[in-house]
Chain A
């Protein structure tokens, strides 16, 4: 195969793979009256913005809540995972083998089971349907992954750098804050991106822990839309398009971090 043929094949394969994404966008612009047309309208030439108007009218509070939950999850995850990564990579006290093992296992526990346990605890503590409660639950998806990424990244920082700071009389905390963190920017970006995306996309914790809340995330916004037997598929798909913006931005802005994040969890260096 010549290079051009390969590129053509690649483009066709990508187009097939991304067809559902295209279809989501297309349906979001389709008029209600054309929704069940036969044959279906393959291009939104005679489109409408009704769907997006519905998003503006009804979904903004959900989007706001999701943004808040996403940012809260990022903050909490970094706060817990970064110091832990530093200790596991550089200070290596005794007994960390067990901790590493627990972190790996923690990632394998199905979210639905965590959700049930959280539900039982939150119900009695009276924190069901609260934003902080959901942030806390969402962070459990990202913290073990975060520790893993920070550990892997900080292991690559030369010991000399840390020893130099310690010899200069800096405390370990000071060394961590003013030497380690600034050079760990890539790890911080990767962990933040994934923590945000997972919290933004979370449905399991949202539906179990925040199903009756005043402030619900966008995943529940879409779910209610479908659940109400809503036939306004342009509005549903418009909401889906808006809900996909963070993922898209992430891919455009931070593509190399994404690939790094996917592989870091799985393949040992």
Chain B
């Protein structure tokens, strides 16, 4: 017994020595990623911060001698009439998208846990929208939502409703991009929530069934509470991902008509790249505001994940 303990101590000791010696080797393996993160994450972000704190013109952007202007760009952004709507649209786009993605994703996940023929194949097919390049989904939806020849308006006519100017009316543009974004996001929610449901032990349901709980009760009393950790993570990740969405909105509406679907992401891009006369400073300032919002939710996500 003692000898066994001794061996244990000895092996642990020697492995610690090996580990200490291995520190340098270990950092050798990590060196590429550390250098990479510094050069291609930290440096671009630093450049972006620098952009937002200087007064840039096209010439000084190339030559790099723009005067320091402090928080001027941020003040410009806050005073801009686009700021309010852009912030509001970002929040509406994000929260409405997530609410629908999550609700539909969860309903589908529950449905797919009941094993039936073809369930695995059909579940796999549900991944398609998530895997398609965004430009493909965005252009397909653009054509489907076309006012005159779109299939969606054709269906509306079929059930006796008036056609809608989905992409060209300020009242509907934001709704249109949200619909497309919900479609893209459902698979992600479905897959994660499905894997969360798989982790709930079957005997809990069996016990509840014996006690005479109905399907509805089982969902609200068992599935929903037990799924809470996974749900929280899905929602927070969804928040971070949805805040970032730029391609989809830009391709479908360019943020228009007249800012009706402008979010912080598309506004930032338009300031820097969308006009003949680029405004890099304010563009970068908007981008940095977006980072801050994303990081708040990001940190919440990390805290949540650590806790579970």
Contacts and interface: CB of A to CB of B under 8 A. Distances in A.
Interface of A: 3-4, 6-7, 9-11, 13-14, 17-18, 20-21, 23-24, 27, 35-36, 38-40, 79-81, 83-84, 86-88, 91-94, 96, 99, 101-106, 108-114, 116-121, 123-124, 136-137, 139-140, 143, 147, 166, 172-173, 176, 197, 200-201, 203-204, 207-208, 211, 218-219, 222-223, 226, 233, 236-237, 240, 243-244, 247-248, 250-251, 255, 258-259, 262-263, 265-268
5 contacts: A103-B37, A113-B291, A117-B48, A172-B29, A240-B135
Contacts of B134: 201, 203
Interface stretch (B1-9, B69-77, B233-241): B233-241
A159 B60 CA distance: 56
A20 B129 contact: yes
A197 B128 CA distance: 12
A237 B143 contact: yes
Contacts of B148: 36
Interface of A (DSSP majority class) = helix
Contacts of B40: 136-137, 139-140
B34 A99 contact: yes
Interface of B: 18-19, 22-23, 25-27, 29-30, 32-34, 36-37, 40-41, 43-48, 51, 61-62, 64, 108, 111-112, 114, 116-119, 122, 124-137, 139-144, 148-149, 151, 154, 183, 186-188, 191-192, 195-196, 230, 233-234, 237, 240, 243-244, 246-247, 251, 265, 268-269, 272-273, 280, 283-284, 287-288, 290-291, 294-295, 297-298, 302, 305, 308
A40 B154 contact: yes
Contacts of B26: 87, 91-93, 172
Given A124-B62, A243-B135, A262 B117 contact: no
Output the residue of A17, A117, A121, A207 with the most chain B CB within 10 A: A117
B290 A113 contact: yes
A243 B251 contact: no
A91 B51 CA distance: 39
B13 to A, nearest CB: 15
A266 B192 contact: yes
B129 A21 contact: yes
Contact of A109 (B36, B41, B142, B273): B41
